[in-house]
Structure 1
Amino acid sequence: MNVSLAKAHGAPCPTAVLDGRSFPESESELLGALAELRADLSGQGAGDVLKNAIVRPSRHPLFDLDYRFVQSLPQSHDSFDLRGSCGHSILAAVEAAARTGMIQPLVPGCRVRVNVLNNGDNVVCETEETSDGGTRFTAHFLCSPPLRLPELLMTGETVTHVPFEGRSVPVSLVSMGNAYAFVDAADLGVSGPDALFADDPRLFDAMTRLRVAVCESQGWDTFGAFPKIAALLPQESGGLYVRAVSVPSWHPTVALTGAICLGAAAGIAGSVPWSLAGSAARDPDALLPVRTPGGCVRVAAHSTHGTDGVRRLAWVSVAEKQVEYRGLLSRPRATAPRSVAAAGRRTPVLATSDHSSEETSWVPQTA
């Protein structure tokens, strides 16, 4: 079984990239093998690797790679979340697939088309620059056909008022790349960007509890990593300050899917990101500046007006994402995979390995 390690700059940890051609496809065997892999990683001092990308040459004629993401959860070696995706891990998977000969070597200008089995996303990874140690990409998340922006709202509302510790907190629940809850950091008592980016355990705890409250208010399972949560503040010159929670701590920057979701959400009039982003959200062709504790990214969301007057999203892009390839992992042992419990599949409730294998997706989505 071939296992590579690769890490995108700004990701909270490396990704274990697994060759799906030699990996079990049934859910129980898949998770059992991942549990064994986690034990191996911990034994080799890499217990912090909580992202798993399972890839193979695509069975679909329009794509180069089929990709499936599994998030390892910190509770135990056999605890996983099958919902959602990970943009940084998609880039890591493309890097590893090229380095190990699964796809053609990467050269500037080439594009690798990735079929995300978790949620049906179409992602194009465009190579900007290559070196011996890694690759710099632009990631394009495509909507084919273009999506009416209101369809990204998970509750059908631009703002959902969530009961939270005796008051009502407005959040925007948006699904693009991954499902996110966006909240104005001022509603959590944050006074400015310095306070937002401080390592404040009280803010982390408040955001974690608000995420749980969001799930409970919608009748969703609170276990696992999705939906994610991010707190926002406006930049004076336009754009957003962003602080996001990852697994199991603060995200050092913002997830690539988080930046993609934020870029899409900023185009939805009345949403929390739209209200805070200022002029950067009003111009459909403008880049959205996003500042995080670990640096800045610029998000480009391309949308057009349909004949019905509703804006439709065609794609969202993030450029200059660097990925480091760390090589093949030595597997000292190979044991029979064992069945383990897993988190959710098509709906936000717990699912176990008693279910048959199928592609997973994050729902709810509104028509």
Structure 2
Amino acid sequence: MIVSLVKATGAPCPTVVLDGRDLPESDPQLLSALADLRADLSLQGSADVLKNAIVRPSRHPLFDLDYRFVQSLPQSHDSFDLRGSCGHSILAAVEAAARTGMIQPLVPGCRVRVNVLNNGDNVVCEAEETFGDGTRFTAHFLCSPPLELPELLMTGEPVTYVPFEGRTVPVSLVSMGNPYAFVDATELGVDGPDALFGDDPALFDTMTRLRVAVCASQGWETFGAFPKIAAVLPQDGGGLYVRAVSVPSWHPTVALTGAICLGAAAGITGTVPWSLAGSAARDPDALLQVRTPGGCVRVAAHSTSGPDGRRELAWVSVAEKQVEYRGLLPRPRSANGLRSSADPRLTPTTPLPEENSWVPLTA
């Protein structure tokens, strides 16, 4: 089978991209194969790779690719979370699909339509610029049909009060791209961006425990990665600082789906992000500036007025997301249930096809 490694700038680790046509579709067999693949990666010195993207030509006529995300968890080689998605891994999957001949090569201005099987998201990955070892994208998360903004609230309320270690903490539970719990960082004793972005194990532990408390308060499974949790602070002049927990540590920036969800949440009256974002949250056409420990991203949430005058979310976009293609990995030695359709000539050093000579590399 073909296994590619792709790293999105700002992601906590690279993504392993696998051709879904070579994998079993039932969850037990799929997870068994991924566990064996993960053991192989560990032997190759890539135990830190915790993201798996399974991609294939779409069975739906409106999409180019079907995509499924599986989050590896640090507990053991056979520990996974099948819920949720990963925006950085979507871009990685598009890059790998183009590099291995599943779709045509990427050129500036082209758009690849991705059907996210995990949660039904419709994502358009627009190539801004291509270069030798990667691509810079704009990712558009579409709402089709448009959603009234309150529909994104997981509890139906802009703020949910969560019992937490002898007190009550207000959080906003929002699902767009991925489910997130957003909390005002001052509720956790953080007094500014330096404290928020510092490497503070106590703050990390507090946020991890709060995520578990959120799940427990709603009767959700506490094991796994979702919903994710992020703490926010206001920027002078508008915009937000954000710090998010990833698996198994701090996120170095913010997940692409986290930026998408935060942009959507900032447009919903009464949420924690809306309350802190200032004028950017009041103007439906404004760009929301989001500062993270690793830099700044800008989020555009496009909303329209519905028939009853309520705001409806049409799409959320994040620009200038860059991915680096790191090549093909050695063929897995022990993965059970994998159907071998890969060209035996392929090795990690196989040259890529010329940009204007698109030839399939799989049967």
Q: Sort the TM-score into its range (normalised by shorter chain).
A: over 0.9
How far does residue 334 in structure 1 lie from its aligned partner after superposition?
Answer: 3.4
What is the distance in 2 between the residues matched to 1:299 and 1:106? 23
How far does residue 240 in structure 1 lie from its aligned partner after superposition?
Answer: 0.1
- Report if aligned partners of 2:23, 2:337 keep a CA contact under 8 Å in 1: no
Q: Could you say what secondary structure the match of 1:223 adopts?
A: coil
Q: Which amino acid in structure 2 is aligned with residue 20 of structure 1?
A: G
4+ residue segments displaced more than 4 Å: none
How far does residue 337 in structure 1 lie from its aligned partner after superposition?
Answer: 4.5
1:129 aligns with 129
2:209 aligns with 209
What is the distance in 1 between the residues matched to 2:76 and 2:179? 24
How far does residue 237 in structure 1 lie from its aligned partner after superposition?
Answer: 1.2
Q: Deviations over 1:189-217 (max 9, x none)?
A: 00000000000000000000000000000
Q: Say if 1:335 and 1:73 are closer, same or farther in 2 by CA, change over 3 A.
A: closer
Q: Say if 1:332 and 1:155 are closer, same or farther in 2 by CA, change over 3 A.
A: closer
Aligned residue runs from structure 1 range 111-260, under 5 A: 111-260=111-260
Which ranges in structure 2 are unaligned for 5 or more consecutive residues? 339-363
2:280 aligns with 280
What is the distance in 2 between the residues matched to 1:327 and 1:15? 11
Which ranges in structure 1 are unaligned for 5 or more consecutive residues? 339-367
1:343 aligns with none
RMSD: 0.9
How far does residue 38 in structure 1 lie from its aligned partner after superposition?
Answer: 0.3
Q: Say if 1:181 and 1:328 are closer, same or farther in 2 by CA, change over 3 A.
A: same
What is the distance in 1 between the residues matched to 2:118 and 2:132? 31
What is the distance in 2 between the residues matched to 1:233 and 1:25? 42
What is the distance in 2 between the residues matched to 1:247 and 1:335? 24
Q: Could you say what secondary structure the match of 1:202 adopts?
A: helix
Q: Say if 1:276 and 1:102 are closer, same or farther in 2 by CA, change over 3 A.
A: same
- Report if aligned partners of 2:68, 2:118 keep a CA contact under 8 Å in 1: yes
How far does residue 336 in structure 1 lie from its aligned partner after superposition?
Answer: 2.7
1:80 aligns with 80
Q: Does 1:36 align with 2:36?
A: yes
What is the distance in 1 between the residues matched to 2:331 and 2:95? 20
- Report if aligned partners of 2:6, 2:327 keep a CA contact under 8 Å in 1: yes
Q: Which amino acid in structure 2 is aligned with residue 46 of structure 1?
A: S
What is the distance in 2 between the residues matched to 1:290 and 1:279? 14
- Report if aligned partners of 2:146, 2:314 keep a CA contact under 8 Å in 1: yes
- Report if aligned partners of 1:50, 1:72 keep a CA contact under 8 Å in 2: yes
Q: Percent identity?
A: 86
Q: Could you say what secondary structure the match of 1:304 adopts?
A: strand
With normalisation by structure 1, the TM-score equals 0.91
Q: Could you say what secondary structure the match of 1:243 adopts?
A: strand
Q: Deviations over 1:27-82 (max 9, x none)?
A: 11100000001001000000000000000000000000000000000000000000
Aligned residue runs from structure 1 range 317-332, under 5 A: 317-332=317-332
Q: Say if 1:131 and 1:83 are closer, same or farther in 2 by CA, change over 3 A.
A: same
Q: Could you say what secondary structure the match of 1:233 adopts?
A: strand
Q: Could you say what secondary structure the match of 2:18 adopts?
A: strand
What is the distance in 2 between the residues matched to 1:118 and 1:310? 29
What is the distance in 2 between the residues matched to 1:287 and 1:64? 29
Q: Which amino acid in structure 2 is aligned with residue 328 of structure 1?
A: L
Q: Which amino acid in structure 2 is aligned with residue 82 of structure 1?
A: L
Q: Could you say what secondary structure the match of 1:12 adopts?
A: coil
Q: Could you say what secondary structure the match of 1:199 adopts?
A: coil
What is the distance in 2 between the residues matched to 1:334 and 1:262? 40
1:99 aligns with 99
The number of residues matched between the two structures is 338
What is the distance in 2 between the residues matched to 1:42 and 1:333? 12
- Report if aligned partners of 1:40, 1:331 keep a CA contact under 8 Å in 2: no
How far does residue 332 in structure 1 lie from its aligned partner after superposition?
Answer: 4.9
How far does residue 335 in structure 1 lie from its aligned partner after superposition?
Answer: 4.4
Q: Could you say what secondary structure the match of 2:10 adopts?
A: coil
Q: Say if 1:335 and 1:140 are closer, same or farther in 2 by CA, change over 3 A.
A: closer
